Amino acid sequence: MRHFKTDKPTGQKGNAIGQSFIHESAIKQVIGKAVYVDDKAEEVNSLHAYPVVSTIAHGNIVSIDTTSAFAVQGVVDIFSTKDIPGTNDIGPVFSGDILLTDELIEYHGQPILLVVATSYKAARIAARKVVIEYQTLEPMLDIKQAIKEQHWVRPPHALNRGDAKQAIDNAQHKISGDLDIGGQEHFYLEGQVSIATPTEEGGMFIQCSSQHPSEVQHLVAKVLKQPFNYVTVEMRRMGGGFGGKETQAAPWTCLAALAAFHTGKTVKIRLARSDDFKSTGKRHPFYNTYQVGFDQQGLIEGVDININGYCGYSPDLSDAIVDRALFHADNAYYYPNAHINGNRCKTNTVSHTAFRGFGGPQGMIMAEQLVDDIAYYLKKDPLEIRKLNLYKPGRDLTPYKQKVEQFILKDMIAQMEEEGDYWARKEAIAAFNKTSPIIKKGLSLTPVKFGISFTVQHLNQAGALLVIYSDGSVHVNHGGTEMGQGLNTKIAQIVAQAFSIDMAHILVNATRTDKVPNTSPTAASSGTDLNGMAALNAANTIKQRLFEFAAQHFDVSLEQMQLSDNQLVHEKGQISFAELINLAYLNRISLSTTGYYATPEIYYDREKAEGHPFFYYAYGLALSEVEIDILTGENTVTRTDILHDVGSPINPALDIGQIEGAFIQGMGWLTTEDLSWNEQGALASNAPATYKIPAIGDTPAVFNVKLYNSQNPATTVFKSKAVGEPPFMLGISVWSAIRNALASITDYQYAPSLNPPATPEAVLEAVQAAQQWNKTTMQTTTKETSHA
């Protein structure tokens, strides 16, 4: 394997850490040599499976007729719940996520049967020929109805500090608002896909596209009523996961394994794109409300925020997702008194799931709406209100009572005000808007503070397996998965650094449950923090062994010894790393080990709704400028400047890539990606033709991304910070800038609410609300004048 460096910013010479090595698969991906699950050569006699899914959102199955499906040439068998030897409930944390249903239908697209055939085409055609009769029930699709009926998948949970109600009542000013926030389709380029192969030992070998191979292993075993060692999962790479393959890769793998179990043959399952859209969960849509009390300066005194997630039909990960929304409803701002409640609403849709930010974005946008609304209400600049309310020493306690300990946003904002020329551009934009009747410009700078750690404590652990072959080449396995984010490259850099050897000597490839067991999902942006530390611990164990061996062998002191530039250097001389390894082998020194890591310091007491759920916070900010057309509602981002904190970066180029991608994905969520379900609960936006993700042309014309230079004060791997999710929420700057453009219509006295996604329709509606506001305010003013 070759590790090239790019010409992007690099760190110190001679170190692997801080250098911009290109992604381990980049060239293979570009030339088409990177193998994904669906690219693997098919075994002779292998079979294909396809699910039969419901065509109603709620009801009961009355009858099923498979005659015409069986008549399709190539059909081998059709499986139902009766064929499941073990459990049919594959809930990852709580029960309620069903593999196949035989009676109650709870969402449109719910799997009922599994058709197995000799070809993909035959399986798909036959799946459509199954005739199912239903007795339909009214689907619950309206979240306000669900709230009223307390229709939950999990009980509500609230954060409380001080007396929010009283603080709001006593405040000089109070305002309230609400926001209907859209969901988001993951749109990974590689859809859900799995291959299950019965092994000669009578077990099951799985190749799949999953962020959580251990959970897939455990669930397949439970469905088949087998011990966990019956199943081995291999996962080389995903063509994107974005959270959509944290729990929701498992059902498809379980189905493939069920068919392989009964037929004794290799079975592949791959969802067609529109079925992937319909039958897999998305980012949760939310409906949130807020009330805030503040003083004449705009200093927040109390907030009452109510957060409601559309969870779909089952718990899946919704409990943790709504928790993360609660934990981020403050974003970077201090709320002296706060009541923040989170409801997990049950609706008759597919079960919504993890998606980059994991509920954080849907909580954080409330904080940004609220500070903007305060600013327009007081006729002050929104950035002033943001700065005023930032966490600072003495005003550092979050609503869940974790103390904020790092206050770099103030400095980051100052840097951006200057480099992004905030104040001059703001003035120029206001002047432009005065003379431009149709095109209006807007500008907004929004910060991000994102908590790093799984909020489920036991998930904050990782393992690694490190082996050195007798020629000095190194193979590392770890519990994380590669989904494009560059985790394997970073792990290789960490091990290269630990041994001070070239990247060319290190191989990190497929994740396997028989190499590193009981792993956590690669999620919560913690892949490098957890697995990098486990790999580093493994490397340090072997390093110690090598040093002790060399000290004895060469009769030199341990203290003076070091690994440097592919050599072991000691008092009496030096020896190459490869020679050292061979010597150690000949002297019977073990050259393999495991490494383990568990994040210290974190806990959360759910009863008290307080604790220290995050090891540290990652920070960032974006300054976006937009243009809207008030006749059509069309909007474009003309410039975005980002300053983002990745601590001391392990690989600056990969980090910048993550920041760029996350920002664009966040912008897509808030502007163009419009999920719509029809009145029967069927997903209407179920293909690229009806669901618009950002294209390359949507990149801001000017797009500057910079890393903020600072070490992580927490003891993370080489002082780096997680980067996967935090920059997603930088996209909020675009939504806030559109509101700023809308506010120009009212001469910045009022910004109409703007329910994301800010599609042209939504923007046009807000334009009309602003124009209406002008009319009413004018009338009031006129009236007041005539009375005087």
Instruction: State which H helix or E strand residue 773 sits in.
Output: helix 760-787
Comparing every residue's Cβ against ligand HPA, the nearest one is 524
338 touches ligand HPA (CB under 6 A) = no
**What residues form DSSP beta bridges with 289?**
178, 306
| Residue of the chain from 242, 277, 290, 294 that contacts ligand MTE (CB under 6 A) | 242
- Nearest residue to 139 (alpha-carbon basis) of 112, 113, 109: 109
Strands 104-105 and 461-468, by their bridges, are unpaired
- Contact in structure between 218 and 206 (CB atoms under 8 Å): no
Q: Which is nearer to ligand MTE, 430 or 693 (CB)?
A: 693
Give 708's DSSP letter.
Answer: E
In the range 644-663, which residues lie near ligand MTE by CB under 6 A? Answer: 658, 661
528 interface partner picked from ligand MTE, ligand HPA, ligand MOS, none, CB below 5 to 8 A per type: ligand MTE
Stretch that binds ligand MOS, among 54-62, 354-362, 427-435, 573-581 (CB under 6 A): 354-362
In the range 425-484, which residues lie near ligand MTE by CB under 6 A? Answer: 480, 483-484
Give 45's DSSP letter.
Answer: T
352 vs 342: CA distance, rounded Å: 16
661 phi/psi in degrees, rounded to 5: -65, -45
Q: Which is nearer to ligand MTE, 287 or 450 (CB)?
A: 450
- Contact in structure between 224 and 257 (CB atoms under 8 Å): yes
Q: Which residues contact 150 (CB under 8 A, 6 or more apart)?
A: none
- Nearest residue to 533 (alpha-carbon basis) of 571, 578, 484, 494: 494
214 interface partner picked from ligand HPA, ligand MTE, ligand MOS, none, CB below 5 to 8 A per type: none
Least Å distance, CB 525 to ligand HPA, is: 8
| Residue of the chain from 259, 524, 584, 682 that contacts ligand MOS (CB under 6 A) | 524
- Nearest residue to 612 (alpha-carbon basis) of 407, 403, 450: 403
503 vs 490: CA distance, rounded Å: 10
Q: Which is nearer to ligand MOS, 347 or 665 (CB)?
A: 665
721 touches ligand HPA (CB under 6 A) = no
Least Å distance, CB 523 to ligand HPA, is: 4
| Residue of the chain from 168, 259, 300, 320 that contacts ligand HPA (CB under 6 A) | 320
Least Å distance, CB 604 to ligand MOS, is: 17
482 touches ligand MOS (CB under 6 A) = no
Stretch that binds ligand HPA, among 195-203, 214-222, 367-375, 449-457 (CB under 6 A): 449-457
Q: Which residues contact 519 (CB under 8 A, 6 or more apart)?
A: 212, 213, 214, 462, 463, 479, 480, 511, 513
Cα torsion at 746, 748, 751, 752 (round to 10°)? Answer: 0
Q: Which is nearer to ligand MOS, 243 or 442 (CB)?
A: 243
317 touches ligand HPA (CB under 6 A) = yes
Least Å distance, CB 616 to ligand MTE, is: 14
250 touches ligand MOS (CB under 6 A) = no
Stretch that binds ligand MTE, among 263-271, 375-383, 521-529, 584-592 (CB under 6 A): 521-529
Least Å distance, CB 679 to ligand MTE, is: 32
541 phi/psi in degrees, rounded to 5: -60, -45
Q: Which is nearer to ligand MOS, 472 or 726 (CB)?
A: 726
- Contact in structure between 350 and 278 (CB atoms under 8 Å): yes
702 vs 712: CA distance, rounded Å: 29
| Residue of the chain from 175, 456, 507, 684 that contacts ligand HPA (CB under 6 A) | 456
| Residue of the chain from 24, 215, 246, 641 that contacts ligand MOS (CB under 6 A) | 246
Instruction: State which H helix or E strand residue 626 sits in.
Output: strand 616-629
Check 725, 761, 765, 784 and give the catalytic one. Answer: 725
Q: Token pair for residue 577?
A: 């790393």
Least Å distance, CB 211 to ligand MOS, is: 6
645 vs 719: CA distance, rounded Å: 12
Residue 780 CA neighbour count, 13 Å, CB half: 6
| Residue of the chain from 243, 293, 342, 613 that contacts ligand MOS (CB under 6 A) | 243
Q: Token pair for residue 637?
A: 């981002």
- Nearest residue to 408 (alpha-carbon basis) of 239, 618, 264: 618
724 touches ligand MTE (CB under 6 A) = yes
- Contact in structure between 625 and 704 (CB atoms under 8 Å): no
Sign of CA dihedral 87, 88, 92, 94: negative
Stretch that binds ligand HPA, among 305-313, 379-387, 451-459, 545-553 (CB under 6 A): 451-459
550 touches ligand MOS (CB under 6 A) = no
| Residue of the chain from 310, 334, 355, 577 that contacts ligand MOS (CB under 6 A) | 355
609 vs 338: CA distance, rounded Å: 12
To the query of whether residue 200 is one of the catalytic residues in this protein, the response is: no
How many Cβ atoms sit within 10 Å of the Cβ of residue 392?
A: 14
731 vs 182: CA distance, rounded Å: 14
485 touches ligand MTE (CB under 6 A) = yes
Q: Which is nearer to ligand HPA, 93 or 764 (CB)?
A: 93
- CA 24 to the chain's CA centroid: 22
Instruction: Report the residue count for the chain.
Output: 788
Q: At what angle do helices 360-378 and 652-671 cross, to 10 degrees?
A: 70
455 touches ligand HPA (CB under 6 A) = yes
**Per-residue contact flags (x/-) with ligand HPA for residues 355 to 394, judged by CB under 6 A:** ---x------------------------------------
Q: Which is nearer to ligand MTE, 240 or 315 (CB)?
A: 240
Least Å distance, CB 368 to ligand MTE, is: 21
**What residues form DSSP beta bridges with 288?**
179, 307
Interface residue list for ligand MOS (CB under 6 A) = 211, 243, 246, 354-356, 358, 523-524, 725
Interface residue list for ligand MTE (CB under 6 A) = 240-243, 356, 480, 483-485, 487, 522-528, 658, 661, 724-725
Catalytic residues: 725
Interface residue list for ligand HPA (CB under 6 A) = 246, 317, 320, 324, 354, 358, 454-456, 459, 523-524
